[in-house]
Amino acid sequence: MTRTRPPFLDGLAASLPIVMGYFPIAFSFGVAATQAGFTGLEAFALSLIIYAGASQFLALALLSSGAPVLVAAFTLIAMNLRHVLYGPALMREAGEGATRRHAWAWAWGLTDEVFGQALGALARGQRFSEPYMFGLGLGAYASWVSGTVVGAYAGGGALEGWPAVNAGLGFMLPALFLALLLSILNRRQLPVIVVAGSVTVVATLAISATSGILLGMLAGAVAGVLRK
């Protein structure tokens, strides 16, 4: 593929759709954090250090409900176990000669959306490049952290006069998960997703939302092991 600009800038440009998607979600995280009683600095720290959307929202629920530190930490860790698969899948597509000297740094930005975007670029014939991964990851990370800060300092009060905007931001996360679900949906994964979803509903109603998430993920993964 002929390049007209440095790969880093290519990656930064490719991150723009993710930036557009991340900023409002991070904004709503910042608002949710301050509404749950956390300071702007704490919301900023959660986004800077954890950098994983769904588990950050769960962190708010766990920490504000007084869950023990280890229980909260391991719940969040379990939620992001799926990320283990992203690196190997990406490098398999990148090919044998792909360099990974700086993977210890750029892999930090390998979120669901960054992984999807990078994999899509390789599928379209683009050559793997670490500077491209830095650009792609940095754009998304900066958007996530800055969106959180703006949301935290604007606060819940900023949206009180705008219930429709508040409602739309509140639906951003279910919409994102539905879109991600559609992007990975195929006949082979359907039983895994059906089992995971069903167990989540039952366990949430019978025990709690946190148990529903953990048991749903485990049941789906076990269904995948038992699948012929």
Partner 1 sequence: MSWDLLTVALMAGAANWAFRALPILARMERVAASGWLGRFLASTGPAAIGTLFVAAILPSLVPDLARLLPVIVGTLAVLAVWFTRKSVVLATLAGALAHGATTWTLG
Q: Give the whole-angstrom CA distance, residue 200 versus residue 194.
A: 10
Q: Is 122 in the site for partner 1 (CB under 8 A)?
A: no
Cβ-proximal residues to 206 (8 Å cutoff; 6+ apart), any chain: none
In the complex, the smallest distance separating the C-beta of residue 178 from partner 1, rounded to whole angstroms, is: 5
The least distance separating partner 1 from the CB of residue 193, rounded to whole angstroms, comes to 4
Residues 155 to 214 in contact with partner 1, rule: CB under 8 A:
163-165, 167-184, 189, 192-197, 200-201, 204, 209, 212-213
Least distance (Å) between residue 124 CB and partner 1: 13
One of 83, 122, 131, 156 touching partner 1 (CB under 8 A): 83
142 binds partner 1 (CB under 8 A): no
Tokens 């006069």 locate to 161
- The single residue among 9, 36, 91, 119 that binds partner 1, judged by CB under 8 A, is 91
| Interface with partner 1 in residues 56-75 (CB under 8 A) | 59, 62-63, 69, 72-73
Crossing angle between the packed helical segments 7-14 and 16-35, to the nearest 10 degrees: 60
Closest separation between CB of residue 20 and partner 1, Å? 6
What residues from 21 to 60 belong to the interface with partner 1 (CB under 8 A)? Answer: 21, 24, 38-39, 41-42, 45-46, 49-52, 54-55, 59
- Rounded to a whole number of angstroms, the minimum distance from the CB of residue 42 to partner 1 is 6
State both tokens at 37.
């009683």
The residue among 4 and 99 lying less far from partner 1, judged by its C-beta, is 99
Site membership for partner 1, residue 154 (CB under 8 A)? no
Between the alpha carbon of residue 135 and those of residues 1, 30, 113, 156, 192, the distances in Å are: 18, 24, 14, 32, 34
Number of residues that bind partner 1 (CB under 8 A): 94
What minimum distance in Å lies between the beta carbon of 57 and partner 1?
Answer: 9
Asked whether position 118 contacts partner 1 by CB under 8 A, the answer is: no
